[in-house]
Amino acid sequence: MLWQKKIKDISKDGRMIMALLLGMGPSTAALASNDHMPATTALRCDRDIPKFEQQFVKALDIIRHGTLEQVRNFGKKTSYEYLFRKTHPKQRYYQYRWTAATEAMKKTKHEFKKLQSYDYIHYHMNFAQPSANFILGHQEICLIKATRIRSMEEMASQREIDRKSMVIIFSRDLGTLRWRNMIYHHKMRAADFAEFYPNFPEDKKVLLD
């Protein structure tokens, strides 16, 4: 059936879709209060889970109804990989690899348009309690397992299509209350992970799978 083919197409583009949904982060309104609050070294992960959930809701709203430029601007504020672009000029971290920026942007534009055309597909994210929360260097790290649920609109109800579990690494510099995030994936190269999170504790790495 036609809708089954479309669902398959969405699955093929799923990796970047999730990067758009979470890696590109929330609206500036969702984070505005953070810029005017004093920084703290106290662990905040538990109390800030509602902010993580809001990141998904705000990002999804922009993706469904906004522009790709808006999504990119949000990414500058909350995508963790954005902090490393200076050491990877003319590249973007795309599908768990540093890729030429022109190629990554071309594919992202295609996937963004496709996602907006599937307006009958609904996304929901369930967040579990943190599996780990600790200080790493100058950052607070928070590991949260989440489940992405996709459903399709049918008449007056929604039918679940599938669900996918993942681990999201939320981090904040101890000098700010702004959280950034990255979706962990086993395809991430060890060298890239070490660059992103140097000296990551071995006993915490097992929680990523």
For the chain, report the end-to-end CA distance as a whole number of angstroms: 35
pLDDT tens-digit profile, the chain (209 residues): 444 444 444 444 444 555 555 544 333 333 333 444 455 678 999 999 999 988 888 888 888 888 989 988 888 888 999 999 999 999 999 989 999 999 999 999 988 888 888 777 788 888 999 999 999 999 999 999 999 888 887 656 678 888 899 999 999 999 899 999 999 999 999 999 999 999 999 999 999 98
**Which pLDDT belongs to residue 31?**
37
79 DSSP 8-state letter: B
The percentage of residues in the chain with a pLDDT greater than 90, rounded to a whole number, is 49
**Which pLDDT belongs to residue 162?**
86
Q: Is residue 96 situated within a structural domain?
A: yes
**Which residues span the domain enclosing 128?**
2-27+43-208
Q: Is residue 97 situated within a structural domain?
A: yes
Q: Is residue 59 situated within a structural domain?
A: yes
Q: Is residue 35 situated within a structural domain?
A: no
The percentage of residues in the chain with a pLDDT greater than 70, rounded to a whole number, is 79
**Which pLDDT belongs to residue 154?**
65
Number of domains in the chain: 1
Contact 199, 193 (CB under 8 A): no
Q: Is residue 32 situated within a structural domain?
A: no
Q: Is residue 51 situated within a structural domain?
A: yes
Q: Is residue 113 situated within a structural domain?
A: yes
**Selection from 88, 115, 84, 83 nearest residue 101 by Cα:** 88
Model pLDDT for residues 159-178, shown as the tens digit of each residue = 888 889 999 999 999 989 99
In our burial notation (b when 16+ CB lie closer than 10 A, e otherwise), range 61-86 reads: ebbeebebeebbbbbebbbbbbeebe
**Which pLDDT belongs to residue 20?**
56
Residue 133 to residues 17, 136, 139, 201: CA-CA distances in angstroms?
27, 10, 11, 12
Q: Is residue 6 situated within a structural domain?
A: yes
**Selection from 168, 169, 167, 166 nearest residue 139 by Cα:** 169
Model pLDDT for residues 6-46, shown as the tens digit of each residue = 444 444 444 455 555 554 433 333 333 344 445 567 899 99
